[in-house]
Amino acid sequence: MTVLAVFRSRAQTLEYISALKRCGVPAQAVNTPKEAGVGCGISAKFEESFLSRARACLAKRQYSSFSGFMKSGGGRLGYL
């Protein structure tokens, strides 16, 4: 399954993707789906197997625009 880290700020999304990579999490920027209900336009995408590492990486810094993690699979999206 794929996880999206959804932000309301493009700059913070890109910073988080860089931080994920420094934490050893392969991540990339993707378009934020409409179902997320927030609107900076991009989210960080990574595999669910890296979720605990991604959460730890998130906790190291204050991201005021972080909206939540969404899991996508089987054509459906939902917040974790």
**Residue 37 predicted with pLDDT over 80:** no
Q: Is residue 62 part of a domain?
A: yes
How many of the other CB atoms lie within 10 Å of CB of 32?
A: 24
- Report how many domains make up the chain: 1
What pLDDT score was predicted for residue 34? 82
Q: Is residue 39 part of a domain?
A: yes
Domain extent, residue 28, equals 2-69
The enclosing H or E element of 71 equals strand 66-73
- Report which DSSP code applies to 80: -
Q: Is residue 28 part of a domain?
A: yes
Is 52 strand, coil or helix? helix
Model pTM score = 0.88
Over residues 38-70, the pLDDT tens digits come to 766 899 999 999 999 999 999 999 999 999 999
Over residues 7-34, the pLDDT tens digits come to 999 999 999 999 999 999 999 999 988 8
* CATH number of the domain enclosing 23: 3.30.70
End-to-end CA distance of the chain: 12
Nearest to 10 by CA among 78, 74, 63: 63
